[in-house]
Amino acid sequence: MGTGPTAPAASGHRGSLLLALLLGAAAAFLPLAEPSCPRDNSLVKDINQMHQSDYGRKGFSHITIAGALAHGMREVEVWLQTFGPGQRTPIHRHSCEEVFVVLKGRGTLLLGSTSLQYPGTPQEIPVFQNSTFTVPVNDPHQIYV
Amino acid sequence: MGTGPTAPAASGHRGSLLLALLLGAAAAFLPLAEPSCPRDNSLVKDINQMHQSDYGRKGFSHITIAGALAHGMREVEVWLQTFGPGQRTPIHRHSCEEVFVVLKGRGTLLLGSTSLQYPGTPQEIPVFQNSTFTVPVNDPHQIYV
C-alpha cells in the first residue's frame, strides 16, 4: 500500500500477511468500539492517513477503511489488516458474510463449518498473495501467519 | 496485482485506474449476467486465474472476486476493475452501499446526491492510489480516467 503505515509490515517479511476484509451487514457484528477515531468527512480519503491501531497486539495493524462507527456504513464494512510473523486472529465467527482478499504475503485459513452440530476437525488451507476466500455466515474461522 | 491478468493495465499507464469495488446487498443490483463464467468451488481462489471480461469495452477489465451468480454471495459483492486511459463507467446508481478502494492509478469521481429533488451540478473529485470513497445508496455516480 505504498509508503503508508501498512508498508513496513507488508512489503518486507516473508512471514507477514496484508489482508483486505470485506464484511456484509456491518451493524450486526462490529467487535470493536473506536471512540478515539477522528471522523474524516472528506469524500475521498487517503488510506495512508487513516486511523490505525494494533489493539494491543504487537505486529498487528487494523484500519477501518469504511465502517459503521467511523463512517456511518449500514450494509458493508471494509477493513485493512496486517499480520506480522506469528500473529493470528482468535477463532471467531460473524453473523454476516465475509470476503477476504490477500494483498501481500501468505498465511493459513482455519475454517470450521456450521453445517455439522459438532464441527469436528476444521480445514486448514494455505492463502497467498492475490488469493481470495469467503467465510459463510457463522462459520468459525481463524487466520494465522 | 502481480503477474495476473490485471497487471498490464494496472502497472504501466499513468492514465489507468485499478479499482476494488465492494458492494452491499448484492442480489438487489447485479447488473450483469455471467452465464459462461465457470464456477470455481475451491475455498481459496487465485484472483489471477479468475474469469475476466471487458464486456465489449476495450481497455476495461472486470473480475467478480465474490458475487451472487458466480459464488452464491447474498450480502456483499467484491469486484476488481481496471480502466484504461479514456475509460469511464456510465452515470449510474445502485440500491446498495458501495465502497471503492483505488489500488493503483488516478481518475475522477463524479458524484450526485439524492438529497435534492434535482441534483444540480455533481461534484467532481480526484481519486488516487490508496484512496477510498463510498457512494451512498442511490446516489448517481460515474468513475472516469
d(CA A62, CA A38): 15
Comparing CB atoms, the residue among B43, B44, B132 nearest residue A47 is B132
Closest CA to A88 of A63, A122, A58: A58
Contacts of A34 (CB under 8 A, 6+ apart): A51, A53, A64, A67, A69, A70
pLDDT tens profile B57-109: 888 999 999 999 889 999 999 999 999 988 999 999 888 999 999 999 999 99
pLDDT(B141) > 50: yes
Indicate the pairing of strand A123-128 with strand A131-135: unpaired
Written as nine digits, the cell of A119 is 464441527
**Per-residue model confidence (pLDDT) at position B113:** 77
The whole-number pLDDT of residue A106 equals: 92
Which of A115-119, A136-140, B129-133 is the least confident region?
A115-119
On chain B, the residues whose CB falls within 8 A of the CB of A4 are: 130
- C-alpha cell recorded at residue A42: 472528506
- Largest distance between two CA atoms of chain B: 47
In A, which residues are within 8 Å of B130 by CB distance? 1-2, 4, 46-48
Whether residues A45 and B129 touch (CB distance < 8 A) is answered with: no
| pLDDT the model gives residue B19 | 77
Instruction: Supply the pLDDT for residue A121.
Output: 77
How is residue A25 annotated by DSSP? S
Instruction: Report all structural domains of chain A as residue ranges with CATH numbers, in order of start.
Output: 7-30+45-144 (2.60.120.10)
| Backbone dihedral angles phi then psi of residue B38, each to the nearest 5 degrees | -70, 140
d(CA A92, CA A129): 23
B110/chain A closest Cα distance in angstroms: 11
Chain A, nearest residue to B130 by Cα: A47
Q: Which three cell numbers stand for residue B82?
A: 481496471
pLDDT at A131: 94
Distances (CA, A) of B58 to A6, A29, A47, B53: 34, 41, 30, 10
Is the pLDDT at B52 greater than 60, yes or no?
Answer: yes
Place of cell 505504498: A2
- Report residue A127's pLDDT band, with 50, 70 and 90 as the boundaries: very high
Whether A44 and B78 lie within 8 Å, measured CB to CB: no
Among A50-59, B76-85, B118-127, name the one with the lowest average pLDDT.
B118-127
Q: B5-30 pLDDT, tens per residue?
A: 333 333 334 467 787 766 664 333 34
Which residue on chain B is closest to A74 by alpha carbon? B97
pLDDT score for A14 = 46
Higher pLDDT among residues B118 and B47, named by residue: B47
pLDDT one-digit tens code per residue, A67-86: 998 899 999 999 999 999 88
pTM: 0.80
Chain B hits for A46, CB-CB cut-off 8 Å, are 128, 130-131
ipTM of the predicted structure? 0.79
pLDDT at B5: 36
Residue carrying C-alpha cell 492509478: B105
Q: Please spell the DSSP secondary structure of chain B, one letter per residue.
A: -TTSTTHHHHHS-TT-EEEEEEEESGGGT-----TTPPP---SSEEGGGS-EE-TT-TTEEEEEEE-HHHH--SSEEEEEEEE-TT-BPPSB--SS-EEEEEEEEEEEEEE--TTSSS--SPEEEEEETTEEEEE-TT--EEEE-
Q: What is the mean pLDDT of chain A?
A: 78
